[in-house]
Amino acid sequence: MEDLDLGAVRAFAAVAEYGQFTLAAAELGISQQAVSKRIARLENQLGVALFERVRSGADPTPAGRRLLSHARDLLVRADEAVAAVRDDPGPLRVAVLGERQAAMRAMRFFLEQQPDRDAEIVLSHTEIMRSGGAVTSRDALLAGRVHAVFARAGGGPRPLPARVAAAPAYLEPLHLLVGKDHPLAGRAAIALSELRGTVIWVPGVRFPSEWADYYRELAEFAGFTIDSRRRPEPDRLASANTSTNIELIVSRVAASATLMTFSGEGFETPWHPNIRRVPVVDPVPAYPHALLWDATDTHPGLPDLIAHVRANYNAEIATGCWAPAADRALFGVRD
């Protein structure tokens, strides 16, 4: 069998990550036709179809999903080989879950403090959404595709190996989002104990992940029930013209007198005139965002990022917060 073409493998990985040939082409700096030809050549060589066309673009077939982790490993090793020859470590690659996350602003602040730093912010939300939540940004770190990630250190279906180190980045208090006609819409705050016996819509926990574990533990502690269905109520939306999942979630909550969901204090929730935020207190449920990295990674930019995150962690916020047992020691949250 002839050797795999790295260009074709890179095109395959890009389409799998972005879910569209056009986006993959833009990322690779080549035409969509060139991407299609590379994928076709790889499929012919392997004798299997790697993608199936769907309304939103392209999804990996079972064979494509099996190939994906190997393809990523191959590309990482190839890039490392090139960097070793050139004596160039390349940019510091740091993964965040999405542009609306507070981690994005934290990374931008770091880069503003070090304008000469060669670094890339890698958005991992597309991969997570397209994979159904089975793969998180932590897996990008384990696969060597990034040097660090902002993510929860505890929980998840796959425990982190001992080589992964963690530093507390920030504790993010949770708020309730409700519509203007919801009974809680006029509240300045709500005690966590008042949520006992209620049902809270959290559609992002349908699949195994570290954040799904967080919300399950919070629900058990506070005594509420999680509704993880995609559509918990019949649609009351005047229009379905919402461009992202989070916009759809916000629109559903805004149109309901009964739905409520969580949003982090630092999360940039899409604006809606009928949405009300209600802080949760006594104690404040806080999501533990950590900086994770491979302790064996020798990238020269990593120590500065680690030192920056450690120096800017606000430990005072831990007083009066609730966090899962697995995260309390790292963040200084007392039982």
- Dump pLDDT digits (tens) for 167-206: 999 999 999 999 999 999 999 999 999 999 999 999 878 7
Local structure of 213: helix, strand or coil: helix
Segment 40-58, tens digit of pLDDT: 999 999 999 999 988 778 8
Task: Give the model's pLDDT for residue 133.
Answer: 43
Confidence of residue 1 (pLDDT cuts 50, 70, 90): low
Task: Give the model's pLDDT for residue 204.
Answer: 78
Confidence of residue 309 (pLDDT cuts 50, 70, 90): very high
Task: Give the model's pLDDT for residue 295.
Answer: 94
Residue 128 DSSP label: H
Q: What is the mean pLDDT of residues 96-125?
A: 83
Q: How far apart are CA 180 and CA 164, in angstroms?
A: 44
Q: What is the mean pLDDT of residues 78-94?
A: 77
Least confident of 1-15, 117-131, 152-166, 308-322: 117-131
pTM of the model: 0.74
Res. 227: pLDDT tops 90: yes
Task: Give the model's pLDDT for residue 243.
Answer: 37
The answer to whether the beta carbons of residues 89 and 300 sit under 8 Å apart is yes
CB proximity list for 302: less than 8 A, separation 6 or greater:
92, 147, 148, 293
Segment 238-250, tens digit of pLDDT: 444 433 478 889 9
Res. 131: pLDDT tops 50: no
Strand residues in the chain grouped as ranges (E): 51-54, 57-60, 92-96, 119-123, 148-151, 164-179, 190-191, 199-201, 225-227, 260-264, 275-281, 284-294, 321-322
Q: Which of 123, 122, 103 is nearest to 313 (CA)?
A: 103
Q: Which of 79, 50, 52, 77 is nearest to 66 (CA)?
A: 50
Structural domains in the chain plus CATH codes: 1-87 (1.10.10.10), 172-286 (3.40.190.10)
Length of the chain in terms of residues written: 335
Mean pLDDT score of the chain, rounded to an integer?
87
Residue 305 DSSP label: H
Local structure of 188: helix, strand or coil: coil
Q: What end-to-end distance do the CA atoms of the chain give, in Å?
A: 59
Res. 327: pLDDT tops 50: yes
Confidence of residue 146 (pLDDT cuts 50, 70, 90): confident
Q: What is the mean pLDDT of residues 216-244?
A: 73
The answer to whether the beta carbons of residues 35 and 24 sit under 8 Å apart is yes
Q: How far apart are CA 137 and CA 37, in angstroms?
A: 29
Rg (the chain; Cα; Å): 21
Q: How far apart are CA 214 and CA 86, in angstroms?
A: 43
The residue ranking higher by pLDDT, 16 or 86, is 16
Q: How far apart are CA 237 and CA 270, in angstroms?
A: 16
Angle at 177 between CA 174 and CA 180, to 5 degrees: 150
Res. 274: pLDDT tops 80: yes
Task: Give the model's pLDDT for residue 134.
Answer: 47
